Amino acid sequence: MTNSSTLYFSHAITRAPAPTVTGGLRAIDQGAPDPALFSSHHSAYISALQATGAEVVQLPALVNYPDSVFVEDTALCLPEGAIVMRPGAPSRLGEAVEMATVLPQYFKEIRYITSGHVEGGDILVTSKEILVGRSARTDEKGVAALREIVTDWGYELRELQTPAGVLHFKTDCGLLDEDTILSTQRLAASGCFADYKILHVAEGEEACANAVRFNDIILFPAGFPKTASLLRDHGFDLVEIPNTEAAKVDGGMSCLSLRFTKYPDPDPDTASYE
């Protein structure tokens, strides 16, 4: 694994939020998201990705899957290939099936989680290892199935525990550079990031921990000024994106895209691009 593969990407896959997003899963009812406002925020997110020079694949909405805008949970994209996840929420299993039809256009090898459950929101890929947090959506069998695949590709996987009451491991953390992780105090207190430099989100701003490094910018939810100032003081270039509607259905910055580099196909006649 090279350091650049965790920070720099040529492509991102997104999916438009469906009007049915109002029925999306949520741990706490904070009211239904406004579909029109959600779409506006989603457009701002896509624009931020495109501004880095990346090609953004914009998939159509899936009205039968209210949570399908959160594409990260459906797959793990690595330089060696893509792994189709097996979401722990039964209503989301079909989302992974839909994504599996798209990925062969961008990856030479596609593998599948066939036992247990794993969602991409519980997976943090760093320059050193793949961290996977067990949660209500990711179980022991799923982690074992994922370990078998990534070990075959030469990665080390470290299994951790997502804090109680937290939906996904990455709800509480985000990769900022090769050695630095943004984390909540409650997650960092477990010692899971002992080998990394940690920047803690400001007290009361725990909801911004799910920031995403994409090329030379940090995709960061708007409305968390103390943590934003901290990151800028450490030299990070932030693009603040409104996220109020996604947050109502437990969504953050990483949830909204699959990020990867598309390497040239050895036979251009067989390659398919969007």
The correct CATH number of 3-264 out of 3.20.20.70, 3.75.10.10, 1.10.10.350, 1.10.540.10 is 3.75.10.10
What pLDDT digit, counting tens, does each position of 131-144 carry?
999 999 999 999 99
Catalytic residues: 168, 255
Backbone angles phi, psi at 11, to 5 degrees: -135, 155
- The amino acid occupying position 187 is L
Per DSSP, 91 falls in state G
Q: Which has the closest alpha carbon to 242: 76, 73, 101, 33?
A: 33
pLDDT recorded at residue 27 = 77
Pairing of strands 217-221, 238-241: parallel
pLDDT, tens digit (0-9, with 9 covering 90-100), for 183-196? 999 999 999 999 99
- Per the structure block, which two tokens stand in for 185? 């105090």
Phi and psi of 73, rounded to 5°? -70, -15
User: Over 80: is that where the pLDDT of 272 sits?
Assistant: no
Instruction: State residue 18 phi and psi, 5-degree precision.
Output: -85, 155
Overall average pLDDT of the 69-91 stretch: 97
* pLDDT at residue 266 tops 60: no
Domain ranges (residues) in the chain:
3-264
Taking residues 251-272, what's their average pLDDT?
76
Read off the pLDDT of residues 2-49 as tens digits, 9 standing for 90 and up. 446 899 999 999 999 999 999 988 877 788 999 999 999 999 999 999
Q: Which pLDDT band holds residue 154 (cuts at 50, 70, 90)?
A: very high
Rounded Cα distance, 207 and 205, in Å: 5
